Structures are given as structure tokens and as C-alpha cells.
Amino acid sequence: SRWCGECETKWEAKMNHPVLSRPIMAAVKYTASEETAKGTIELDIFPEEENKITGTVETTRIAEEAIRAEVFLRGRLLKVNPKAAITVAYAPNTLGFDVILRTT
């Protein structure tokens, strides 16, 4: 970002409920600069910890008002490894986006 040159950020959310065998958790950790961000994703939402879903995320500014993000996920329970490519462009009173989902 403009304020720190290159920043590292971590976001984590946890939820616990009596019907859950253990708390569930979602976390994103990334390093961002003026033009790009790269990081990891962790979804620990299944009863067994070894079934957590992990992945990577990479974003790139492709124009002054447009960003492209690619997300790759993997996990023992996934039959395929999904990839999502999301492009977002914005202007006054307008937001456009394109989402492409693929499997690897």
C-alpha cells in the first residue's frame, strides 16, 4: 500500500458452537505492495484437522481501477483442486467483475 511500501496482514475468524466438535476457523495471511498481494488461505471447517482446505491467493493491479485475483485451493477432501480467477474493475457508480472457475 502507499503507506507502508510492503505490508504483511493476517485476518482470522473463529466460530464455536455447542453442536460443533471443535471450533471452526478461516484465516488469510498476505503480503501486499502497491501493485500486488500474495498470501495463503486456510479453512479449518471439518471435524478432523487433517481435512482442512488450504490455498494461495495472488492479486495484481492490471489497470488504475482494475484488479485481478487468482485463488488456488487444495485439500484431502476435495476431489479436484479448484482455481478461481476474479477480475474486478470499478468506476463512479459502476462495478464490473468477471469470475472464471477451473479445476486442476
Cα separation, 71 vs 58, whole angstroms: 7
**Whole-number Cα distances in Å, 8 to 31, 39, 40:** 4, 9, 12
pLDDT reading at 70 higher than 60: yes
pLDDT at residue 7, rounded to an integer? 86
Amino acid 5: pLDDT: 67
The span from the CA of 47 to the CA of 22, in Å, is 7
**Of 63, 26, 62, 55, whose CA–CA distance to 38 is shortest?**
55
- pLDDT higher than threshold 70 for residue 28: yes
Q: Which residues are paired to 98 by β-bridges?
A: 87
